[in-house]
Structures are given as C-alpha cells and as structure tokens.
C-alpha cells in the first residue's frame, strides 16, 4: 500500500470513529434530557414491621416545566405488595424550584401475616407527558416513563439483629463508695421507716371511706340489670350499620355489654380478659351462659374492631351478632 493510500485509509477510519462517538454522545444527551424531565425519590420510614404495625411509603417526583404525570399510574391499586396491605393513601402537589412541580404520594401500609420473612414493595413504572397550556394530561401524548425502585421491609423487631454489647460491663470491680455515704445509711433507713407510718394511715383512711361509700350505695337488683341490658341492645339495634364506623361502634358496644354480663352473672372478670381467657374461665365453672355463643360474639366483635376495612363484618353479620347477644343476656 502506497503512503498516499495509507493516509486516506487512516483519515477514513478517523472520520468513522468520530461519527460513532458523536452519535453515541447525541443518544446519551437525549437520554439525559428525558431523565431530567422527572426525578424520583422513594423511601419507607421503617426498616421492620410486626403484625399490626404501620409504615409510610413516600414517593416524591419532581417534574420539569410543562411535564405532567399520569395519576392512574400512582393509584393505590397499582402498588405491587408482597405481604403488605394498603391502609390509606394521600397525595399532594406543590411548586418547586426553577419552575418545577413536586408531587408527593404517601401510602400507609401494614401487615397481618406471619409467614412472610421479608415484606416487599415492587417497582413501579410511571408515565409522564408534555402538555400545552390548557391541555389536559389525559389528552396529551405520553413523552416517557420513569421507574420507581422497589423497597423491602423485614418482618422482625426494629432493633439490629447483632448489637455490639462490648463495653457495657467491665471486669474491674466497682469503685468503693465514700465513707460519708456509709455514715448516712442508718439515717436514710430511719427516715424511710418513719415515712411509712403516715402513708399507711392515709391508705387506711382511703380504704375506710371507700368501704363506707360502697356500703351506702344502693345495689341494683337483677331485674334492673336485665332492663338496662335490654335497653342497651335495643339502642344498638336502632343504630345505622351502613357505614364502617357505625358497625364498629355497634360491635364495640356489644363487646362491652357481653363482658359486663359475664362478670355480673358468672363472676368472671370479662372486661379484663381476652375472649379465649373468658371461654376458659367459663368452662371451669357451672356457667349459666352458653360458652360457645359468648366466644363467637366476642371474636366477631374483635374482628370488627381491629381487622382491616375489607375484613370487617357486614351489616347482616352485625344484626346476627345483636340477636346472639340478645340470647346471651336473656340467660340468668
């Protein structure tokens, strides 16, 4: 190959490489411009959850001028939840720096499962569009999309699994206390003994006044108690069960009524025991109330008060529970 041909060949190779580099640089600039339209930041306020605990998942998207998000992509039913349940959600929109718009989406999550060691939030894809003044985002052509990374929450205590406990205890003996504290020890013991006497007298006076008050207070008859319970049941029956709050209020009243009835009739401290403990206490004595019926009523009340909204008993189940409570209080 002649020197002239060699120069031409090298010049052609240089031009080709330069064109490729320019093309790649142009593509990178385009990608950067597209990613600069929307920036994403997502976070969870807790690293671990127990059953019933709640965590807040926050997504913050900063959009450039003229860029609008497609809101359907961030609705609660689009979340990819593994072992988690959505409790509530809200969103806000505020102006940011340099003519940007900041969108914040908050999702309150919880878990009622114990078989999932790691609770996960899957990644999401959010579309955005460039709109003209007065144009709705639904009518605009999507300009691109951004991916929101997933998150993981451990199902355990929020404390670290392995903590460094070195230095908490030392091998050296404790420092000897000053001699003055040894001299003052008998004085302190004497003052403690002296202070016990007025405290004991005050407690005795309080107990005496309490007994006197109980002795003077009129005791309600069984008939009066039955009438009060019937009135309570009828008041609950007249409530509105169409709303979730109404049903929970009704179940709360029924739970209190059954627990107080078990206490007055069977001598079982129902207000301070769980449903399982009440059933166990009733089974060990000659109870006048049906144990299975009382247990089913208390379990239904607990489910209505503490379960998520989709697992709350219906209005028909509430009416059936009222009939069961009416049957329980009818037994004396």
Q: What is the pLDDT of residue 186?
A: 87
CB neighbours of 287 closer than 8 A, spacing ≥ 6? 266, 268
Answer with the residue of higher pLDDT: 66 or 256.
256
CB neighbours of 138 closer than 8 A, spacing ≥ 6? 70
**Tokens standing for residue 242:** 């169409």
Q: What is the DSSP letter of 48?
A: B
Whether 230 shows a pLDDT value over 90: the answer reads: no
Answer with the residue of higher pLDDT: 219 or 34.
219
Distance CA 308, CA 296 (A): 19
Q: What is the pLDDT of residue 164?
A: 57
- If pLDDT is split at 50, 70 and 90, which confidence band does 249 have? very high
> Exposure of 140 by Cβ count < 10 A (0-12 exposed, 13-18 middle, 19+ buried)?
middle
189-198 pLDDT per residue, tens: 888 888 888 8
Whether 200 shows a pLDDT value over 70: the answer reads: yes
Cβ-contact 46, 108 below 8 angstroms? no
- If pLDDT is split at 50, 70 and 90, which confidence band does 110 have? very high
> Exposure of 33 by Cβ count < 10 A (0-12 exposed, 13-18 middle, 19+ buried)?
exposed
Residue 278: count of CB within 10 angstroms of its CB: 25
Distance CA 107, CA 79 (A): 9
Partnered with residue 85 across adjacent β-strands are: 110
150-171 pLDDT per residue, tens: 899 988 755 555 555 555 556 6
- If pLDDT is split at 50, 70 and 90, which confidence band does 320 have? very high
Whether 269 shows a pLDDT value over 80: the answer reads: yes
- If pLDDT is split at 50, 70 and 90, which confidence band does 12 have? very low
For residues 313-331, give the mean pLDDT: 88
Distance CA 257, CA 289 (A): 14
For residues 66-79, give the mean pLDDT: 85
H helices present in the chain, as ranges? 3-37, 179-216, 222-237, 244-266, 275-283, 291-306, 315-329
Q: Which of 80-84, 128-132, 277-281, 284-288 has the lowest mean pLDDT?
A: 284-288
- If pLDDT is split at 50, 70 and 90, which confidence band does 36 have? low
Cα–Cα distance list, 327 to 155, 253, 330 (Å):
42, 16, 5
Residue 298: count of CB within 10 angstroms of its CB: 22
37-64 pLDDT per residue, tens: 888 999 999 888 888 889 999 999 998 8
Residue-level length of the chain: 332
**Tokens standing for residue 190:** 């004497």
Average of per-residue pLDDT values in the chain: 79
Distance CA 115, CA 198 (A): 56
204-231: b (≥16 Cβ within 10 Å) or e: eeeeeeeeeeeeeeeeeeeeebbeebee
Distance CA 59, CA 279 (A): 47
- If pLDDT is split at 50, 70 and 90, which confidence band does 13 have? very low
- If pLDDT is split at 50, 70 and 90, which confidence band does 180 have? confident
Q: What is the pLDDT of residue 64?
A: 85
- 251 closest CA partner among 197, 299, 213: 299
């Amino acid at each position: 190959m002649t020197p002239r041909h060699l120069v031409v060949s090298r010049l052609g190779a240089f031009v080709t490489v330069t064109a490729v580099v320019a093309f790649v640089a142009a593509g990178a600039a385009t990608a950067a411009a597209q990613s600069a339209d929307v920036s994403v930041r997502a976070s969870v306020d807790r690293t671990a959850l127990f059953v019933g605990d709640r965590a807040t998942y926050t997504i913050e998207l900063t959009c450039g001028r003229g860029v609008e998000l497609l809101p359907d992509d961030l609705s609660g039913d689009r979340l990819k939840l593994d072992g988690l349940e959505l409790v509530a959600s809200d969103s806000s929109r505020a102006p940011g720096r340099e003519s940007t718009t900041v969108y914040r989406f908050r999702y309150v999550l919880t878990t009622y499962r114990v078989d999932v060691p790691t609770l996960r939030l899957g990644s999401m894809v959010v579309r955005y569009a460039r709109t003209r003044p007065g144009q709705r985002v639904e009518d605009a052509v999507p300009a691109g999309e951004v991916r929101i990374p997933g998150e993981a929450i451990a199902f355990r205590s929020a404390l670290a699994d392995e903590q460094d406990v070195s230095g908490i205890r030392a091998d050296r003996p404790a420092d000897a206390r000053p001699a003055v504290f040894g001299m003052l020890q008998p004085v302190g013991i004497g003052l403690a003994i002296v202070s016990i006497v007025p405290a004991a007298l005050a407690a005795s006076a309080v107990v005496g006044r309490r007994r006197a008050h109980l002795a003077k207070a009129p005791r309600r008859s069984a008939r009066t108690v039955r009438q009060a319970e019937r009135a309570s049941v009828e008041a609950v029956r007249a409530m509105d069960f169409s709303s979730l709050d109404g049903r929970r209020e009704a179940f709360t009243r029924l739970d209190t009524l059954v627990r107080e009835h078990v206490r007055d009739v069977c001598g079982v401290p129902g207000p301070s025991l769980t449903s399982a403990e009440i059933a166990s206490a009733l089974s060990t004595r000659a109870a006048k109330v049906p144990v299975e019926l009382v247990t089913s009523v208390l379990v239904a009340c607990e489910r209505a008060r503490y379960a998520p909204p989709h697992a709350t008993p219906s209005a028909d189940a509430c009416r059936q529970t009222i009939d069961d409570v009416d049957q329980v209080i009818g037994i004396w």
